[in-house]
DNA sequence: GCGCGCCATGTTAGCGGTAACAGGGGCGGA
DNA sequence: TCCGCCCCTGTTACCGCTAACATGGCGCGC
């Protein structure tokens, strides 16, 4: 293909309109499939646009029409595996709505979140999907101050700004504790990340402790790590915990990846899982499906959460008026092979 | 915080200018830190903006200034682990340049890629970073037709449009073949994905076969899978391959994740890795660091590629004129514990 | 005391589209 | 034959911000 337009000036509607002999308005109508245009004109315009290699300028279009087909999606991390899953579901759900997700990553930093949010709002998106309920005051203010739909996802333990779609991590931890106790384990340890800003992991641990307390049990020991490969950390921390506390009969991990590391450690050291020691993680990562033993876990409903959040934004941006819904999903406990059956 | 502005009309520069008693231009200058403004005025404006909860409209700003601080990053997938890594490096590198990455995902579909590219170009970004060298004709045309920097990443085996940063997957496969043969393996199988659009995996396999051929060896057997959890697929396919062809002494996997599945299978079935059978993958995923045996692999330089691509875009958008560079990284073979040492 | 220059601020004219309304021509019904 | 309506196309006035230039006031040197 040649490059027909080589003047310094970038292509505009006017170029297409001159090339096809109609007004800019008509070209605009053709390119957006809006309003009545005769077939002959339409074809002529399309041909001219294609020949020139014209790409519409959405910046100008958005300014004029006060409409932006973008949805801001703000998440803590992409290397976590849980967020890409949410994201792809959002993306799929938005596919036919004319809306498009734009991702911002905060690295679990509230300040970064505020900054990313500011940046995104300045593009006037049609909606915001943001992970978690904890934000800086300024971020909350921005979200309250805007009149586009806001959906906070993943977590329902707390007060939302507008709509909320997620699970109760507190209760997820609590239920896991109950299941573990029901299976007869009593010396229970915990391994998780040190990140103070991972509120969902924190809530799970709190709920977990609460569940133990209800049965009159306290957490026997805990290890917190930060950085590094989760799998390797799971292995290391498990070793450290078991060396320090050889009579542990269960370890609860803050996510499946560390849990898998722990599982590998136990197998390598001939520990009988789940009889000698039980293990459980969190998330239901299908990534781990190939392991010899399936780790006990709890599905975080990541896919469903993404879809629902996208639906809410899509409906609202089409004029739907429902506002401030809170939708709680029910995570399902999967015992797998690492909790002994009663 | 209250919500002081509750008229139906959204906030504009004018609101801030009226609230602070200066012209819109001065407000604009303050908010962008550009031009001389007295400290007193600056403070007054900032206070007014903050009180109102004003968020600038980048759409209007971009239109007026013909400047957009966005870099389009177009990749095939987020669930692959390799792209999030590239992405976070791009993000880090762009951090202090005022540029911001915007991600588009193509799901390995050329048509989707074309569509995503069109959408992104219509926002007039300052640069494009796009995975791979294979695009539809229309996509190539769009990229040729634009005068913003374009960097194609991951792969250097082919002709680039503008700049190219990557590795030669063909040579990566070839070198792996050489290393495997040098270690004395002779009955060599392959397991990979069925995706015809994953050109890089294809090129690795081609190079691999070429390497084998140089030593007078042909691929003994191969399996191709699609969909599902890579780990589980690795396990299944390995079983299938070994059942069909029990005298295989090596399996080369198209990526680390399937390779890890294969490794798990071998360990579970008491196969002596690397003596009885050797294994190798591709990518250097640190995700797998916690395995008992480290899988032989080849680092794809994902981090470095991301950084370099971002650098090129950043420099070019600052006026740098270098154009059409091709930067080839050298992937490093890591023997790990699954290829026997000579 | 006057003019020069400079700092701080204001004015004007778009950026490239689109909403809303304005025509013009052909065709059917009266 | 003439009117009215509908289909198609054009005109006008912004959308919210910024580049570029204009301006006003004040300090300073001679």
Q: Let me know whether A72 and A118 are in one domain.
A: yes
When pLDDT is cut at 50, 70 and 90, the band that residue A7 belongs to is low
Q: So what's the pLDDT on residue A4?
A: 47
Contacts of B264 in chain A (CB under 8 A): 290-292
User: Does residue B74 lie in a domain region?
Assistant: yes
Q: Let me know whether B52 and B87 are in one domain.
A: no
Q: Is strand D less than 7 A from the beta carbon of B220? A: no
Domain containing residue A160? 68-168+302-331
Selecting from A55, A124, A288 the residue whose C-beta is nearest the C-beta of B122 gives A55
User: Does residue A241 lie in a domain region?
Assistant: yes
Measured in angstroms, the CA of A12 and the nearest CA of chain B are apart by: 11
10 Å Cβ neighbour count for A341?
7
Pick from A219-228, A280-289, B132-141: least confident: A280-289
Q: Is the pLDDT reported for residue B105 higher than 60? A: yes
How many A-B residue pairs are in contact by the CB < 8 A criterion? Answer: 133
Q: Find the mean pLDDT for residues B152-160.
A: 97
Residues recorded for chain B: 342
The last residue of a domain, from among A47, A64, A81: A64
Q: Is strand D less than 7 A from the beta carbon of B8? A: no
Q: Find the mean pLDDT for residues B27-43.
A: 93
Distance set, CA A33 to CA A188, A245, B163 (Å): 63, 69, 36
Q: Find the mean pLDDT for residues A125-146.
A: 96
CA of B73 to C1' of C11 (A): 40
Residue B73 parent element (H or E): strand B70-75
Q: So what's the pLDDT on residue A161?
A: 97
Task: Please state whether the predicted TM-score (pTM) of the whole model is above 0.85.
Answer: yes
Q: Is the pLDDT reported for residue B1 higher than 50? A: no
Per the CB < 8 Å rule, is B53 touching A142? yes
User: What 3-state class would DSSP assign to A299?
Assistant: strand
When pLDDT is cut at 50, 70 and 90, the band that residue A2 belongs to is very low
Q: Let me know whether A155 and A183 are in one domain.
A: no
Q: What is the pLDDT of residues A212-248, one digit of tens each?
A: 999 999 999 999 999 888 899 999 999 999 999 999 9
When pLDDT is cut at 50, 70 and 90, the band that residue B4 belongs to is very low
Instruction: Provide the mean pLDDT of chain B.
Output: 93
Q: So what's the pLDDT on residue B128?
A: 98
Q: So what's the pLDDT on residue A195?
A: 87
Q: Is the pLDDT reported for residue B6 higher than 90? A: no
Contacts of A257 in chain B (CB under 8 A): 287
**Backbone φ and ψ of A336, nearest 5°:** 55, -145
User: Does residue A338 lie in a domain region?
Assistant: no
Measured in angstroms, the CA of A273 and the nearest CA of chain B are apart by: 15
Instruction: Provide the mean pLDDT of chain A.
Output: 93
When pLDDT is cut at 50, 70 and 90, the band that residue B318 belongs to is confident
User: Does residue B237 lie in a domain region?
Assistant: yes
Per the CB < 8 Å rule, is A85 touching B79? yes
User: Does residue B72 lie in a domain region?
Assistant: yes
Q: Let me know whether B313 and B164 are in one domain.
A: yes
Nucleotides of D under 7 A from a protein CB: 7-20
Contacts of A9 in chain B (CB under 8 A): none
Q: Would you call A18 exposed, middle or buried from its count of C-beta atoms within 10 A (0-12, 13-18, 19+)?
A: middle
Per the CB < 8 Å rule, is A122 touching B55? yes
Q: Let me know whether A55 and A78 are in one domain.
A: no
Q: Is the pLDDT reported for residue A6 higher than 80? A: no
User: Does residue B340 lie in a domain region?
Assistant: no
Taking Cα atoms as reference points, which of A184, A151, A207, A210 lies closest to residue A331?
A207
Contacts of A234 in chain B (CB under 8 A): 290
Q: Let me know whether B285 and B307 are in one domain.
A: no
- The total number of structural domains in chain B stands at 3
For residue B303, the 8-state DSSP code is: H
Per the CB < 8 Å rule, is B55 touching A142? yes
Q: What is the pLDDT of residues B273-308, one digit of tens each?
A: 999 999 999 987 877 888 989 999 999 999 999 999
Q: Let me know whether A179 and A163 are in one domain.
A: no
For residue B18, give both structure tokens: 């009226």
Q: So what's the pLDDT on residue B175?
A: 97
Which residues is B210 bridged to in the sheet? none
**Tokens 């669930």 map to which residue?**
B79
């Amino acid at each position: 293909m040649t490059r027909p337009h080589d003047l310094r000036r970038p292509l505009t509607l006017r170029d297409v309109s001159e090339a096809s002999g109609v007004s800019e308005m008509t070209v605009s109508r053709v390119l957006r499939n809006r309003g009545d245009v005769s077939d002959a004109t339409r074809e002529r315009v399309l041909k001219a646009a294609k020949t020139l290699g014209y790409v519409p300028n959405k910046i100008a279009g958005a300014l004029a029409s006060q409409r932006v087909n973008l949805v801001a999606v703000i998440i803590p991390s992409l290397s976590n595996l849980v967020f890409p899953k949410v994201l792809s579901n959002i993306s799929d759900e938005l596919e036919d709505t004319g809306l498009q997700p734009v991702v911002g990553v905060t690295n679990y930093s509230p300040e970064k979140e505020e900054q990313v949010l500011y940046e995104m709002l300045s593009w006037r998106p049609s909606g915001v999907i943001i992970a978690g309920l904890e934000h800086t005051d300024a971020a909350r203010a921005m979200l309250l101050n805007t009149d586009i739909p806001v959906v906070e996802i993943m977590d329902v333990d707390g007060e939302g700004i507008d709509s909320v779609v997620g699970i109760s991590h507190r209760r997820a931890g609590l239920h896991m504790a109950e299941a573990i106790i029901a299976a007869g384990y009593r010396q229970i340890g915990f391994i998780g990340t040190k990140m103070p800003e991972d509120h969902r992991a924190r809530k799970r641990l709190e709920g977990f402790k609460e569940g133990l307390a209800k049965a009159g049990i306290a957490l026997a020991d805990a290890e917190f790590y930060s950085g590094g490969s989760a799998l390797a950390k799971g292995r290391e921390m498990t070793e450290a915990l078991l060396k320090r506390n050889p009579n542990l009969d269960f370890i609860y991990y803050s996510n499946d990846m560390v849990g898998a590391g722990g599982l590998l450690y136990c197998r390598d050291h001939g520990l009988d899982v789940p009889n000698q020691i039980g293990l459980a993680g969190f998330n239901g990562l299908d990534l781990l499906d190939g392991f010899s033993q399936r780790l006990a876990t709890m599905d975080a409903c990541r896919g469903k959460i993404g879809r629902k959040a996208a639906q809410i934004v899509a409906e609202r941006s089409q004029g739907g008026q429902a506002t401030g819904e809170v939708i709680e999903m029910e995570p399902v406990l999967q015992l797998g092979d690492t909790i002994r059956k009663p």
